[in-house]
């Protein structure tokens, strides 16, 4: 994998001083092109690829929330 310069826009809904909702926007095509090159970038448009990325991201997020993810132990 190569270094990437990936721009993501996030929006947050704050309720009672806490994040209630958070939504990210970014181009998976741009990220894939930078990280892996054109052939994979073209594949990134397929529903299968998008679903797989979402599934893996969700798995890592759930592990983090449950305290079993790699960065979870770093939070005080």
- Show me where the domains of the chain are located: 9-67
Query: What percentage of the chain reaches a pLDDT higher than 90?
Result: 33
In eight-state DSSP terms, residue 2 is: -
Token couple for 74: 């770093």
Token couple for 28: 């998976």
* Dist CA 56 CA 49 (whole Å): 11
Token couple for 64: 């983090």
Task: Choose between 18 and 72: higher pLDDT.
Answer: 18
| Torsion angles phi and psi, residue 37, rounded to 5 | 105, 175
Query: What percentage of the chain reaches a pLDDT higher than 70?
Result: 88
Average pLDDT, the chain: 85
Mean pLDDT of 50-66: 89
What is the pLDDT, as a whole number, of residue 53?
Answer: 86
* Dist CA 59 CA 68 (whole Å): 11
């Amino acid at each position: 994998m190569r270094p990437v310069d990936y721009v993501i826009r996030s929006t947050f809904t704050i309720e009672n001083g806490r994040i209630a909702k958070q939504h990210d926007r970014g181009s998976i095509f741009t990220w894939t092109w930078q990280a892996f090159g054109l052939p994979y970038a073209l594949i990134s448009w397929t529903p299968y690829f998008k679903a797989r990325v979402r599934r893996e991201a969700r798995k890592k997020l759930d592990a983090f929330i449950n305290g079993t993810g790699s960065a979870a132990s770093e939070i005080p």
